[in-house]
Chains A and B, each alone.
Chain A
Amino acid sequence: MRVPMTEYLLIDLDTERWICRVCAHDFGDARGNYKEGTLVYDRDPREIHPPVIDPEKYEFTFSPDPRFCRILEFYCPTCGTQIEAEYLPPGHPPTVDMLWDIDSLREKWEAHGGNPEEVVNYGPGENAETDLSARFDSASAHSHSHRTEGH
Chain B
Amino acid sequence: MFRKAIVSGALVASLALPAIAEEFVIGAVNAKTGFMASYDAPFMQGVSMFVAEANERGGLAGQYPIRLIERDDRSDIQQSTISTSEILSDEKLDLFITSALVPYAVSAGMQALSQGMMTAHGIASQPTIPARLGEGSFLVMMSDAHMGAVNAKYALDDLSAKTAYIISSDFDPFTEFTPLYFQEVFEAGGGKVVGHSEFAYDQQEFSSMVAAIKALPEQPDVIMGMTFDNDFPIFINQLRAAGITSTYLGTDVLDQPAVRGLGEVVEGVHYLTMAAPNASDDAASFVDRFKVAYGGDDSFYPAMVGYSFMRLVEQASINAGSGDAKAIRAAFAELEDVTTEIGSVTLKGYGALPNLPVHIMRIEGGEGVYVKSTLLTADEIPDSRI
Same assembly: no
Interface residue ranges, A against B (CB under 8 Å): none
